């Protein structure tokens, strides 16, 4: 059983490197502080694993057609495409801003959307968890085939936990890379808008690839 879990953990690592997953994380993590970035990546991974577990349990009792499962790709691709459109719109409309201020003698930089600076941490965090749930639908076919083969058709919570741990390892590592960029490259509005514009373009490319590739 230990070898099976190790294989599932490794598959989770490989699965996490999908450009659609990393693109979604980048869209939510650019401009955030390290703690928030790591929280976003962890919540995304948990939502992803939970979604796959729910689908696995449904498929143990309901024989869904390949066409229906294909809607998972439609959902994930559409979400990423919509994120790309939204980010490019915010850049074009000049609605991405940078605010500098001091807390206990230390300078803090906050990047925000809209006309005024608001703290919306709970919204972003819940959105990243929801995004993980939606993105889980996109990878359900490949993941369930792998887990089903290893587990003789029976997918349990331990297997999904191993898969989620592998996914989380990559997501947190990628989150740390995004956090480094946030701290060292996004010190002015021009760089911030360039970063979001790049994320928007990548989202359009990746989302279109998932939908039409």
Per-residue pLDDT of the chain (213 residues; tens, 9 = 90+): 577 788 888 888 888 888 888 888 888 888 888 888 888 899 888 888 888 777 767 766 666 555 555 666 787 788 889 999 999 999 999 888 877 666 666 666 667 776 655 555 566 667 778 878 777 766 665 655 555 555 555 667 787 788 889 889 999 999 999 989 888 888 888 898 999 999 999 999 998 997 886
What are the residue ranges spanned by the domains of the chain? 2-212
Q: CA–CA separation, 145 vs 178, rounded Å?
A: 32
Give the pLDDT of residue 29.
Answer: 85
Give the pLDDT of residue 106.
Answer: 67
Which stretches of the chain are DSSP H helices? 2-16, 19-29, 34-61, 66-69, 71-92, 121-138, 140-150, 157-185, 189-212
Q: CA–CA separation, 34 vs 22, rounded Å?
A: 17
Give the pLDDT of residue 196.
Answer: 92
The packing angle between helices 2-16 and 19-29, to 10°, is 70
Find, among 212, 41, 5, the residue nearest to 135 by Cα.
41
Q: Are strands 96-103 and 106-113 parallel, antiparallel or unpaired?
A: antiparallel
Burial class (CB in 10 A: 0-12, 13-18, 19+), 62: exposed
Other beta carbons within 10 Å of 24: 27
Q: CA–CA separation, 141 vs 7, rounded Å?
A: 17
Maximum CA extent, the chain? 60
Find, among 102, 134, 150, 98, the residue nearest to 24 by Cα.
134
Give the pLDDT of residue 204.
Answer: 94
C-beta separation of 27 from 203 below 8 A: yes
Burial class (CB in 10 A: 0-12, 13-18, 19+), 78: middle
Give the pLDDT of residue 138.
Answer: 62
The packing angle between helices 121-138 and 71-92, to 10°, is 140
């Amino acid at each position: 059983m230990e070898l099976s879990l190790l294989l599932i953990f490794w598959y989770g690592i490989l699965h996490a490197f999908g450009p659609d997953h990393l693109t979604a994380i980048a869209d939510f993590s650019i401009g955030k502080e390290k703690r928030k970035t790591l929280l976003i990546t962890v919540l995304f991974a948990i939502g992803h694993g939970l979604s796959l577990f729910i689908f696995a349990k449904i498929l143990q009792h309901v024989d869904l057609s390949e066409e229906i499962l294909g809607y998972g790709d439609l959902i994930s691709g559409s979400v990423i495409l919509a994120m790309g459109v939204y980010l490019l719109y915010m850049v074009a409309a000049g609605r991405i801003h940078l605010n500098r201020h001091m807390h206990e003698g230390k300078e803090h930089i906050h990047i925000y959307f809209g006309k005024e600076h608001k703290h919306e941490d709970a919204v972003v965090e819940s959105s990243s968890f929801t995004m993980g749930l939606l993105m889980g639908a996109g990878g359900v076919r490949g993941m369930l085939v792998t887990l089903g083969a290893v587990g003789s058709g029976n997918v349990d919570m331990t297997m999904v936990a191993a898969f989620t741990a592998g996914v989380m390892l990559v997501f947190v590592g990628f989150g740390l890379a995004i956090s480094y960029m946030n701290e060292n490259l996004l010190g002015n509005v021009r760089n911030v808008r360039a970063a979001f514009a790049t994320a928007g373009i990548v989202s359009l490319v990746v989302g279109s690839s998932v939908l039409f590739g």
